[in-house]
Amino acid sequence: MLYVRTVKTASKSIAVQVIYYRGRKQVVVKHIGSTKSIEVLDSLKHIAYKWIDRETKQQRLFPSDRKSSDRHVRIDKLRNLGFSYTFAYETINKIFQLLEFTDLKCQILLDFVLMRIIQPASKLESLELLSEQFGMEHERTELYRSIPTIVSKKGTVEEKVIAFAKKYFSFDFSIVFYDVTTLYFETFKQDEDKGEVKGLRKNGFSKDNKSNQPQIVIGLIVTREGFPVAYDIFEGNTFEGKTFIPTILKFKKTHSINNLIVVADAAMISLSNVHSLVDNNLSYIVGARMGNLKLEQIKEISNNLGSVDEKSMRIETERGLLVCDFSPKRYKKDKHEMEKQIKKATNLISNPSKIKRSKFVKSTGDTGYALNKELIEKTTLLLGIRGYYTNLSNQTDQTIIAHYHNLWHVEQAFRVAKSDLAMRPIYHFKRQAIEAHILICFMALAVCKHMELQTGKSTKAIIKLFKGVTDAKLLNTQTNEEFIIRSEFSPEMQELLKKLSLHH
C-alpha cells in the first residue's frame, strides 16, 4: 500500500513523498517535490495521489478527493510548464535502495551522488540543477553544514558496498585488484604543511600530464568484476608504490581477513613491499618490469619460451616467483612500438639541436648522442613477453596470468570516474571538502558499475536512455491544476529496466 507523506527538510521546506511501509520502516518510492508555499503544497499532494492512481491503479478510500482534471481537458486550455527527468531520479534512487545508501539518512549526499551520475557539475551548480530538474531544494548553507557529516559516512559506505558485492557478485575477500590514479586541481598553488596537519594538494608525478598543477593520489580496490569496495586518499607527491601496503593492510584489518590475494601493476613491486606482503600473510600477483632484469636472465627467458604462443615458464627471484609467458599478438604490438621508438631516436640523433629525452637515445659523454644498442637488444629479446611476480607457488601459470589480466577492471573503473563522472579537475581547497567530493564520486562509481555489470551497457548509454523518459508538467488554466504526463518507454528502456530488476 502506498501513502503520501510530508516531511520538513533541512532548508525548512516541506517535501512531498510517496512511501510504503516495510515492517515499521518507511521506504520512499518517489519524491514529488518540496516547497514553502501552502498553495503549492496542496498541488504537490494532489500530484502524489494522481501518481499513485496512475502507477498502481490503487483505489483510495475517499475517491471524492479527485479533482475535476479526471474529466477531459481541451488542449487549448493547457499550458506547458516545462519538463523534468523525474524518471531518472526515481530509478537511480531505487538503486540507492538496493545498495542501502538510503539508510545513511543524508538526502543531500544522495542527491549529489545522483547529480554526479546524471549531469556532473560543481556542488553549487548541482544545487541549481536539483531544483530545476527534480524540485529538490537544498540551501547553500545546508551544503556547507553537511560536509563533515558526508565525510563521516565513508566507513559505513564501504561496509554497504562490500555487503552489496557479497550479495550480487559473490565477493568473498579471496582476491582483490588494486591500482592508483591522480586527480589534479584547477589551480597552480599547492598546500603548505602546517605543523602536524599535512595538506593533500601537492605537485607530483601526474597520470593526467598536469605536473605543473597540484594533485591528490587515489588508491582503489575493486572485485574481480571491477566493482569498487574501498579507496584511500594520499598527498599528491606520494609515490604510488608507497600507497600499496597501507591501503591493503588497512583493508585486511578492517574486515578481519586471514587470506587474501592482491593483484596490482608493476609500480607496486618494490622489495620492501614484497617483504611487507609476506610478513602480513598476503598473497600477491604483481606485474614485473622485465627490462630491469639482467641480460643473462632475459636471454634465458627468451630462449626458454622460444616465441611459442601461450608458452609459460617460472624462475625464482628475490621478489618471488617470476612467471613469464609469450603472446604473438603482443609480439606484433611490441615490435611496432619498438620500431617507432627507434625511428624517433634515429631522427633525434641526426638533429642534435632538437635532441630531447627518448627511450633509445643515450649520451656519449662528449655532448654527442647515439642509439642505446644494449637497451635495443634487451627490448628485442622481450618482444611479446610479459612477466608477473607472485608467491602463489601452488597455482598454475595460467591461473596467475588469468588473474593478472583482470586488472584492467580497475583501470576501466578509473576511466568511468574520470570521464562519465567528471571526477577531475577538482575545485575544492579544504581537506574535508576534497574528502567529501571523493566519497560522492566513489558512491556514484558503485552505482554506475552495478548498472554496467547488470546491463552490459556503458554508463553514458544508460543515462542517455534514462533521460529519454521525460515528465511534461502541464497546467489546466481553467482549474489552475497542475498535472504530469510521462513519455512512453521505448522497448530498449523496458529491456534495460528488466536487466536492472527494476519495475515502474
The pLDDT tens digits along the chain (504 residues) read 788 889 887 777 788 888 887 777 788 888 888 777 776 677 778 788 877 877 765 444 444 344 444 445 667 777 877 778 888 998 999 999 999 999 999 999 999 999 999 999 888 999 999 988 887 889 899 999 999 999 999 999 999 999 999 999 999 999 999 999 988 888 777 877 766 557 788 888 888 788 888 999 999 999 999 999 999 999 989 999 999 999 999 999 999 998 899 999 998 988 899 999 999 999 999 999 999 999 999 999 999 999 999 999 999 999 999 999 999 999 999 999 999 999 988 888 887 766 677 788 888 876 678 889 999 999 999 999 999 999 999 999 999 999 999 998 888 888 888 877 878 777 788 889 999 999 999 999 999 999 999 999 999 999 999 999 888 888 877 777 777 788 888 899 999 999 998 865
Rounded-to-integer distance, Cα 136 and Cα 263, Å = 42
Grid coordinates in use for 167? Answer: 550479495
Q: With b meaning 16 or more CB within 10 Å and e meaning fewer, what string describes 164-188?
A: bbeebbebebebbbbbbbbbbbeee
For position 276, what pLDDT does the model report?
A: 93
pLDDT in the model for residue 63: 47
Torsion region of 281: left, alpha or beta (phi above 0 gives left; psi -120 to 50 gives alpha): left
Q: What are phi and psi of 316, to 5 degrees?
A: -85, 135
Instruction: Identify the pLDDT of residue 194.
Output: 67
Rounded to the nearest angstrom, the gap between the alpha carbon of residue 444 and the centroid of all alpha carbons in its chain is 6
Topology (CATH) of 154-288+391-451: Nucleotidyltransferase; domain 5 (3.30.420)
**Residue 376: alpha-carbon gap to chain centroid:** 39
Kindly report the number of other CB atoms within 10 A of residue 79's CB atom.
Answer: 11
CA-based nearest residue to 448, from 28, 114, 84: 114
List the chain domain ranges: 1-66, 154-288+391-451, 333-380
From CA 467, how far away is CA 388, in angstroms rounded?
44
Res 502: pLDDT: 83
Nearest Cα to Cα of residue 502 among 460, 470, 465 = 465
pLDDT, position 504: 55
Give CB contacts under 8 A, 24+ apart, made by 496-499. Answer: 496/455, 496/457, 496/462, 496/465, 497/91, 499/454, 499/455, 499/456
- What phi and psi, each to the nearest 5 degrees, are found at residue 385? -105, 135
d(CA 350, CA 354): 9
Q: Which three cell numbers mark 326?
A: 609469450
CA 104-107-109 angle, to 5 degrees, is 80
Residue 158's nearest CA partner among 275, 293, 251 is 251
Rounded to 5 degrees, φ, ψ at 253 are -70, -45
* Helix residue ranges per DSSP H, 219-357: 241-254, 271-279, 295-305, 328-350
Task: Give the Cα-Cα-Cα angle 92, 98, 99 (nearest 5 degrees).
Answer: 90
- The verdict on whether omega for the bond into residue 120 sits within 30 degrees of 0, i.e. cis, is no
Beta strand pairing status for 282-287 and 260-264?
Answer: parallel
Q: What is the CA radius of gyration of the chain?
A: 28
Cα separations in angstroms, 231 against 44, 154, 415, 426, 442: 41, 9, 15, 17, 8
DSSP collapsed to 3 states, 167-183: HHHCCCCCEEEEEEEEE
Q: Are 248 and 285 in contact (CB under 8 A)?
A: no
**Rounded Cα–Cα distance for residues 327 and 385 (Å):** 7
> Could you tell me the three cell numbers for 245?
601496503
- The DSSP call for residue 76 is G
> 86 — phi, psi (to 5°)?
-60, -35
Q: Of 104, 96, 31, which is closest to residue 448 (Cα–Cα)?
A: 96
φ, ψ for residue 85, nearest 5 deg: -100, 45
**Residues 413/420, Cβ–Cβ less than 8 Å:** no
Element of type H or E holding 99 = helix 86-99
Residue 144 has a CB neighbour count (10 Å cut-off) of: 11
C-alpha cell at 415: 576511466
Beta bridge partners of 235: 216
Helices (H) and strands (E) in the chain, counts: 16, 16
pTM: 0.80
CB 221 within 8 A of CB 228: yes
